[in-house]
Amino acid sequence: MASKKILVLGGGAGGVVAANNLIKKLGEEAEITLIDKSGYHVFQPSQLWVMTGQREPDDIRRPLKLLERKGVKVLVEEVKSIKPEEHVVQTSSGNIHYDYLIVALGSLPEPEKIPGYAGNVCTPWTIDGALKCRRLLAGFKGGSIVIAPVSWPYKCPPAPFEAAFMARYLAEQRGVKADVTVVHFWKEPMEPFGPMMVGAFKKFLDQYRVGFVGNVEVESFQENYLVTRGGEKIKYDLAIAVPPHSPPEPIAKSDLGDQSIWGYMKVDKNTLRAPKYDNIYGVGDVIAPSLGIGMAGVFAHFQAEYVASKIIDDIKGAYMGEHYNMSGVCVMDMGYVGAAVYCDFTRKIMAGEYPDCVILGGMKAFRAIKYAFEKYWLSKWF
Ligand SMILES: Cc1cc2nc3c(=O)[nH]c(=O)nc-3n(C[C@H](O)[C@H](O)[C@H](O)COP(=O)(O)OP(=O)(O)OC[C@H]3O[C@@H](n4cnc5c(N)ncnc54)[C@H](O)[C@@H]3O)c2cc1C
């Protein structure tokens, strides 16, 4: 008989890994329920391939209801609020009680908050936005393309560079003359990752003729000009923007959220538990600001394995599971080649220092690895 009720909020990278691991090890020893408002899991790194025409939206998403075949109960409902004192989550259709809660609600990219999001401005940070980018790239007859994040934090810190390399490759493949430039608020490319990564990215930018303008805050996109906070104007014919991101509302408005980190969820760095509530864990983008790291699926994945292990151990009495692996690998498709970046974030999370990073390669084989990982991901969890 199921005794403990485990509630997983969110069916993204963190939520599906947690739910899969829990059901595999606990079976009927627990009732595992996953709640997601969209009903779909989206493999977001592939949104860049939706932009470049290599994928259609249905290629990169899976209905979460497929998890029911494994025994996970899936509710397609919106989480409205969390009442930690009462161990209750309120959804669009009622109250649900839990013994353990895993919050994996991510962060919300909001294209409508890009100042001047119209015409020839698009964003692959959402699927609709990626389709718009594809239409704009299809009609691009030459000129300048800028790639610009509007604010921090945003998902996948290196992704604007990846998008820039892809745009440069696409133009070149088509024989269209294009100046491609990343306009960023960092002074140098990948600045928070330390001098080694800055050097490696500068080399890639030089090699593939992508410009970089740093230390620039975007004020707005106006007609064909990006206007900076300093009043400067940077011309573009096509702009790929990274939208402002917001914390999930149920977190921001509960005492799980912390205003000093924009309303995202606060957790203990060692346990990933909410400081005041022993039975509530956070994983993924929603806790990235609390740990002081970027938002990435690889973090969500490892954190979910760790948190699931802790709950399994608690319920079973003894279970040697996954430790909290604070490292991350990001494989980028740059068109010409693929490149993989590996960083161990232990020193970053624990002491606020630079992560220890290495570039694993700039070669064709890494594009194949990226393709293979997408296939592995969607077949492993569904
Ligand atoms: C263009 C792009 C490229 C990327 N490339 C990479 C990469 O190469 N490598 C990498 O590691 N990461 C990459 N990422 C980042 C990665 O996809 C995210 O960091 C990861 O998906 C975060 O996982 P998560 O589980 O925290 O949140 P998500 O995967 O975003 O899942 C959150 C889920 O919560 C649901 N939800 C939100 N609010 C509610 C609510 N109120 N009620 C019910 N459900 C709700 C949403 O519907 C969603 O399904 C990329 C992202 C983008 C956009």
Q: How many angstroms separate the alpha carbon of residue 109 from the centre of ligand 1?
A: 9
What pLDDT score does 2 carry? 56
Domains of the chain, by residue range, sit at: 4-43+51-107+247-316, 109-245
Two structure tokens written together for 233: 């104007």
Mean pLDDT (the chain, rounded):
96
Q: How many angstroms separate the alpha carbon of residue 28 from the centre of ligand 1?
A: 28
Residue nearest to atom 47 of ligand 1 (CA): 38
- Ligand 1 atom nearest to 44, measured from its CA: 17
CATH architecture of 4-43+51-107+247-316: 3-Layer(bba) Sandwich (3.50)
CATH topology of 4-43+51-107+247-316 equal to that of 109-245? yes
Quick one: pLDDT band at residue 1, thresholds 50, 70, 90?
A: low
Residue 8 has pLDDT above 90, yes or no: yes
Percent of the chain with pLDDT over 70: 99
Percent of the chain with pLDDT over 90: 91
Q: What is the mean pLDDT of residues 273-299?
A: 96
Chain-centre distance for alpha carbon 252: 18
On whether the CB atoms of residues 60 and 47 are closer than 8 A, the answer is yes
Two structure tokens written together for 96: 């649900």
Residue 218 has pLDDT above 60, yes or no: yes
Q: How many angstroms separate the alpha carbon of residue 281 from the centre of ligand 1?
A: 17
Grouping H, G, I as helix, E, B as strand and the rest as coil, residue 281 is: strand
**Model-level pTM?**
0.97
Q: How many angstroms separate the alpha carbon of residue 237 from the centre of ligand 1?
A: 29
What pLDDT score does 328 carry? 87
On whether the CB atoms of residues 14 and 107 are closer than 8 A, the answer is no
Probe residue for ligand 1, chosen from 96, 147, 156, 374 as the CB with the greatest number of ligand atoms within 8 Å: 156
Q: How many angstroms separate the alpha carbon of residue 192 from the centre of ligand 1?
A: 21
On whether the CB atoms of residues 52 and 134 are closer than 8 A, the answer is yes
Q: How many angstroms separate the alpha carbon of residue 106 from the centre of ligand 1?
A: 5
Among 4-13, 284-293, 322-331, which stretch is predicted with the lowest mean pLDDT?
Answer: 322-331
What pLDDT score does 341 carry? 87
CATH architecture of 109-245: 3-Layer(bba) Sandwich (3.50)
pLDDT tens track for 137-190: 999 999 999 999 999 999 999 999 999 999 999 999 999 999 999 999 999 999
What pLDDT score does 360 carry? 83
Q: Ligand 1 site: residues with CB under 6 angstroms?
A: 10-15, 35-38, 44-45, 47-48, 78-79, 104-106, 124-125, 155-156, 159, 248, 250, 284-286, 295-298, 300, 330
Residue 224 has pLDDT above 90, yes or no: yes
Per the listing, tokens 């003359």 go with 177
What pLDDT score does 223 carry? 86
Quick one: pLDDT band at residue 323, thresholds 50, 70, 90?
A: confident
**Alpha helices of the chain — where are they, by DSSP H?**
13-26, 47-51, 127-138, 159-174, 195-207, 249-252, 288-291, 297-316, 346-351, 365-381
CA distance 18 to 168: 37
What pLDDT score does 373 carry? 96
Q: How does 300-333 read in b/e, with b if 16+ C-beta sit within 10 Å?
A: bbbbbbbbbbbbbeebeeeeebbebbbebebbbb
Grouping H, G, I as helix, E, B as strand and the rest as coil, residue 198 is: helix
